[in-house]
Amino acid sequence: MVNLIGTFECRIDVKGRLMIPVAVKRQLGNLINESFILKRSVFHPCLELHPYVEWKLTMNKVNGLNRFIKKNNDFIRMYTAGVRIVGLDNNGRILIPKDLLKRYFSKNNLVLTTAINMIELWDKESYEKVINSSELNFAKLSEQVMGNQNNNVS
């Protein structure tokens, strides 16, 4: 399993290419030479970049869903809509398709942030709004998610 760490401000060049930061490349190790999956995020206005090996683990779970249940079929369709296989060029850049550039990035400034086993690609302004949002009480969320509510250990 991949465990990535870091947040980086980046720029997209005029051709829609994003240079992956050296620190991320080092963490990816040999996976840097493999394909990646680029997809829309389910919960946020950003793109997700999954190392192919991690994507296969996710797809194993998705493939376990009964496709004769409509909500499962609907989920699979929506989850995989617009999924692209991408790779790094010889200079360590990923080409972001033009339709995704227009939809997700208002300018050429973006934030590349790691999310354990994947990378999120955000428009810088959108990322700052989400991270600095007063709507989310992070302390309360942390307690709910990580506070061992179901495992009351004395």
Q: Are 112 and 119 in contact (CB under 8 A)?
A: yes
Phi, psi of 2 (to 5 degrees): -85, 140
Q: What is the mean pLDDT of each run of 10 residues along the chain (154 residues)?
A: 93 94 94 94 96 96 96 96 94 94 89 96 94 83 80 52
Taking phi over 0 as left and psi of -120 to 50 as alpha, with beta for the rest, 122 belongs to: beta
Residue 54 in any domain: the answer is yes
Residue 81 in any domain: the answer is yes
CA dihedral 129→14→113→76, nearest 10 degrees, is 90
pLDDT of residue 148: 77
Q: How many domains does the chain have?
A: 1
pLDDT of residue 154: 45
Amino acid at 19: M
pLDDT of residue 141: 83
- 130: domain CATH number is 3.40.1550.20
